[in-house]
Structure 1
């Protein structure tokens, strides 16, 4: 059974996340389908891609599949992790990707949404960054990604409190490009997609790649990188990491001790 729906019309591709029973969690199976669809769209000369959930969705995506996180002692967000793979896929595809967001966005799905080139939301949209709820150390590239889009203090608040950011505030801090009524969300999104599709796809793809390269043009020296990795390992080697995942699976509140 497919976990996404993909379609192409007038050079505009659409990927609909279609695993509502699991709140469109970014499992390896779903990510594999998204990656294959993006590859097909790219070969088909698609000019714009819209990433969305079904109309009326309460959750756009629940983020990383916690059941697929590794045991303690292994990096939970390593290079080939499904979440990191799909983030790279969206960031590196030459097509502009528009996130049409209805409903709440949790955890790593926030990073997926922010990896899209344009975000369009509605009053039901919210963003909640949840790694601290389950004791997961987020990776350096992901945190830098958030910092490139909004101020460091907003990033700290999102990660420290794990409380939802409303659609109105998300627009104010620069996460959402546009905030439109629910009943006009689809029309507004696809009108923007049609507008983009009329322009030079080569010019747009080159500009997108330039922006990606320039936004990541902040080199870390080897000592800093090693320090960051060492800090993250303190977390994924900890009893808090084990407790956070166990509590999630048992559907209870975790009891963190800081060790």
Structure 2
């Protein structure tokens, strides 16, 4: 099968699959270039409430396919552009990880809001094996997830760590038994799709520190009706029907 990014949308959840089975789902130059455009389209789709990034088969992503690069392409610049597009995706994102999550794969996973993995997964940040300066934005993102000491361990050594250690360091949010990842991801994303987009969007912006718009979000909350609906639904013991959507630019 050719290397490709496959996408589908069902029940409010967009799923993007990294598919390059011949090379453990390593990202080709075309895949790095194509991811930001794919994400832009999914971000604009009102049917999409949550995005899941995963790998085909039993591997998440083993990094970058260096052989796919042309002489004038900067692999690091391509990876950073894709990583930043994923981090800036305006809706909740979740990486569903099996097998190897290494190099550029770890960059993509770290750029998601949440990371769920199956037992047996392996993680590594490997630029020290190649003498590469890891991008500043990627380094800061990694350190914010796992802390300075764990980030240095990963970056200095380029050693792989198992899923249990990844969970302890904060690189993972949930670790599932083999065979249970898909069910748990489906269950959790269904929950996310029912929650207030107003809360999710404002929380993502605040946590990521991308902007300082307290006044903007206060005005959005005041005019949305979501709070009144949430309180009414709680008192009436029913599921809320939140209606807020982001204003069009």
TM over 0.5: yes
Of 184, 198, 201, 2:197 maps to: 201
- In structure 2, the partner of 1:18 is 19
1:38 aligns with 2:34: no
Offset, 1:2? 6.1
The Cα offsets for residues 5-57 of structure 1, whole Å up to 9 and x where unpaired, read as 211011110011111112222222112333232222112121000100124x1
| Cα distance in 2, alignment partners of residues 105 and 120 from structure 1 | 12
Task: Structure 1: state its 5+ residue gaps.
Answer: 216-259
- In structure 2, the partner of 1:104 is 100
Query: Equivalent residue of 1:85, what SS?
Result: helix
- Compared with structure 1, are the counterparts of its residues 171 and 27 closer, same or farther at alpha carbon in structure 2 (3 Å cutoff)? same
Could you tell me whether the CA contact under 8 Å between 1:15 and 1:34 is conserved in 2?
Answer: no
Could you tell me whether the CA contact under 8 Å between 1:76 and 1:136 is conserved in 2?
Answer: no
Q: Which has the higher contact order (CA 8 A, sep 6+)?
A: 1
- After TM superposition, the structure 1 = structure 2 runs for residues 36-115 of structure 1, keeping only pairs within 5 Å, are 36-45=37-46, 46-55=48-57, 57=58, 59-67=59-67, 68=69, 77=76, 81-115=77-111
- Compared with structure 1, are the counterparts of its residues 138 and 54 closer, same or farther at alpha carbon in structure 2 (3 Å cutoff)? same
Of 163, 168, 171, 1:172 maps to: 168
- In structure 1, the partner of 2:240 is none
- In structure 2, the partner of 1:188 is 184
Question: For this pair of structures, how many residues does the alignment match?
Answer: 209
Offset, 1:64? 2.8
Cα root mean square deviation, aligned: 2.2
- Compared with structure 1, are the counterparts of its residues 29 and 75 closer, same or farther at alpha carbon in structure 2 (3 Å cutoff)? closer
Q: TM-score, normalised by structure 1?
A: 0.75
| Cα distance in 2, alignment partners of residues 69 and 149 from structure 1 | 33
| Cα distance in 2, alignment partners of residues 130 and 50 from structure 1 | 24
The Cα offsets for residues 73-129 of structure 1, whole Å up to 9 and x where unpaired, read as x9763xxx2101111111111011110000111112212101100100011211111
| Cα distance in 2, alignment partners of residues 7 and 129 from structure 1 | 29
Could you tell me whether the CA contact under 8 Å between 1:49 and 1:95 is conserved in 2?
Answer: yes
Could you tell me whether the CA contact under 8 Å between 1:105 and 1:125 is conserved in 2?
Answer: yes
Query: Equivalent residue of 2:164, what SS?
Result: helix
| Cα distance in 2, alignment partners of residues 11 and 142 from structure 1 | 29
Could you tell me whether the CA contact under 8 Å between 1:92 and 1:209 is conserved in 2?
Answer: no
Offset, 1:157? 1.3
Query: Equivalent residue of 2:101, what SS?
Result: strand
Could you tell me whether the CA contact under 8 Å between 1:69 and 1:76 is conserved in 2?
Answer: no
Task: Structure 2: state its 5+ residue gaps.
Answer: 212-249
Q: TM-score, normalised by structure 2?
A: 0.77
